Amino acid sequence: MVTTRRSRDITNSGGAGKYTSSSGTVTNYDCRVVGRQETVSEGHRVSQLHKKTGKDIGGEFFTKRAYEAHSDFPPSLFYDNGGSIQRAYSGPRYAYSYKIAFDKNQPQLWPAWFPDTPVSQLDALGATAISRVIPTNPISGAATAVGELREGLPSLVGLKLFKERSRQAVGGEYLNYQFGIMPMVSDFRKFIAASKQQDKILRQLSKDSGKNIRRRYTFPDKVESSFDEPLKPRYSQPAVDTNLYGAPGILHRQEKTITEYWFSGAFTYYLPPVGTWQRRVSELNKLYGVRITPEVLWNLAPWSWAIDWFSNAGDVFTNLSAFSNDGLVLRYGYLMEHKKREVTYVWDGTHRYNNKPTPCQLTQTFGYETRRRVKATPYGFGVNWDGLSVRQLAIIAALGISRS
C-alpha cells in the first residue's frame, strides 16, 4: 500500500473586524487565525474487515494538528463622550492574539510539538490491552493456584501480629494479606463463578469458535494540568481604541495535556472437534486454567510479581500462552494514541456596550494534537513476521491473512 502525505491550513471563522470613528476614519482588521494539519497514512480509511473477503482493510495512520479555538464574540462596541467623539467596533475579539498563522507568523503561541512515542512503548501498551480481552482467557487459574500451594497456605489474618507483637509483624501482616489472603480469596471466587456458570460459558465458547470476536480496551486517560500566575494586564485583541474598553483587563494562562490510548481488534479461534480429549482440555482451560503454560510458569516464579510491578512481562506471557493454543489469532488489531496539549488564555475585563462599561470574559485556546494508529501482527504487537513459526504461518495462511 502506497503511503500518502497530506497537509493543509486550518482557518477558523474569525473573519474581519471594522473600526469607525466620528471623524470618518474606517479601519478593517483581518482576524483570521490559521492552524496547520499534516497527515501520514497508508491510504486506509478504516480499521475493519472487508465484508466479502474478510481481510483487514485498515492500516497505520498518523496526523498532527495545530489549531485555535475561542469563545463566542461579544456584541459590537460603542463609545460616545456626549460631544464630538464617537468610536465603534464590530467583529471578532480575542483574549490574546489575532491574525496569526502557525507556519507563517507567531508559531510560538502554540504549545511545543510532541516527540514521537517510542514504538517499544506502543507495543507494550498493545500487549497489555490484548491480554485483557483475549476471548479464550481462563475464568479462573487452577494450575497457578495449585502450584502456589507448594509454599503452603497463608496464615490467618492477625496471627503473626498476635504472636510477635512487633513493628516487623505489622509489615508481615500486610504482605500476608496482600499477597496471600486476597489472591486466595479471589481465586476461590473465580473458581465458584466458573463452576456455577460453566454451561453458559462453554456454550458461548463453542458458539464463538470460528467467528470474528471483536474486542475493545480503553486505558484510563492521563490528564496533566498546570496553572500560571495572572499575566500582565492588557486589552483584548485587536485593541483598536482604549476608549472602547475603559481599562486593561487581567489575563490568565492555563496549560493542559491529555493522553489517551485504546485498542480495537478482532480475534478468531478454532476449538478441537467435540468428543475429543483436546476439546475437553480447551473447555477445562477456559473454566479453570488447567494448562501448564508459559504464563503459569511465570506466575509461579517467586520474583515475577516484582518484575510485573515495573513492566508488562506478565501480559507478554499471557499472550504467548493464548496464541499457542486453540488456533487463536488476530484478524486485525490496532492500538490508537491521541495526545493533546492546550494553552488557554482567559481575559477578564470590561467592554463598552451601548456606551456603558460592561464586564466581559474572553477565552482563546491554542492547541496541538497528534493521532496515531499502529498495527499488530496476527500474533500481537512487537512480533516480527519473520520470526513466526511454520505452524503459525500455516494458520494465518489458512485464514487468508496476509502481511500487507
Count of residues making up the chain: 404
DSSP string, 105-149: B-GGGSPPPPPPPPHHHHHHHHHHHHHHH-TT--SS-HHHHHHHG
- Give the per-residue pLDDT at 129: 93
Q: Tell me what pLDDT residue 158 has.
A: 42
Give the angle 253-257-261 at the CA atoms, nearest 5°: 165
Confidence band (pLDDT; 50, 70, 90) for 153?
very low
Q: Is residue 98 assigned to a domain? A: yes
On the question of pLDDT at 109 being above 90, the answer is: no
Q: For residue range 345-358, list pLDDT tens digits in order.
A: 999 988 888 788 88
How many folded domains does the chain comprise?
Answer: 1
Q: What is the pLDDT of residue 339?
A: 94
Instruction: Give residue-wise pLDDT tens across range 237-264.
Output: 888 888 888 788 899 888 889 999 999 9
What mean pLDDT value characterizes the chain? 75
Tell me the mean pLDDT in the region 86-109.
74
* For range 197-226, the mean pLDDT: 88
pLDDT surpasses 60 at 10 = yes
User: What is the model's pLDDT at position 21?
Assistant: 84
| Measured distance CA(194)–CA(319) in Å, rounded | 21
Give the Å distances, CA to CA, from 260 to 218, 257, 315.
8, 10, 20
Instruction: Express each pLDDT in 44-74 by its tens digit.
Output: 555 566 566 666 667 788 888 888 888 877 7
pLDDT at 155: 43
CA quadruple 95, 99, 104, 106: dihedral sign: negative
Q: Is residue 165 part of a domain?
A: yes
Asked if residue 391 belongs to a domain, the reply is yes
Task: Report how far Cα 28 is from the mean position of its chain's Cα atoms.
Answer: 44
- Give the model confidence (pLDDT) of 293-348 as tens digits: 655 555 555 545 455 555 677 777 777 888 888 888 898 899 999 999 998 999 99
Reply yes or no on whether the pLDDT at 147 is more than 60. Answer: no
Across 84-105, average pLDDT: 77
Position 326, amino acid: D
Q: Determine, yes or no, domain membership for 177.
A: yes
User: What is the model's pLDDT at position 160?
Assistant: 46
User: Would 403 be classed as within a structural domain?
Assistant: no
Task: Kindly state whether residue 404 falls inside one of the protein's structural domains.
Answer: no
- With a cut of 70, say whether residue 82 has pLDDT above it: yes
pLDDT at 290: 64
Q: What is the pTM of this model?
A: 0.75
Domain extent, residue 346, equals 4-398
Which positions ≥6 away from 270 have C-beta within 8 Å?
A: 209, 210, 326, 327
Collapsing DSSP to helix, strand or coil, 361 comes out as strand
- How do strand 77-80 and strand 86-90 relate by DSSP bridges? antiparallel
Quick check: is 120 in a domain?
yes
pLDDT of residue 142: 46
In 3D space, the residue among 176, 134, 131, 170 whose CA is nearest the CA of residue 154 turns out to be 176
105, 35 contact by CB (below 8 A): no
275 lies in a domain? yes
The CA-to-CA distance between both ends of the chain, in Å, stands at 7
Band (pLDDT 50/70/90 cuts) for residue 166 is: very low
Q: Which residue has the cell 460459558?
A: 201
The answer to whether residues 349 and 245 touch, using CB atoms and an 8 Å cutoff, is yes
Residue 35 phi/psi, 5-degree rounding, is: -100, -165
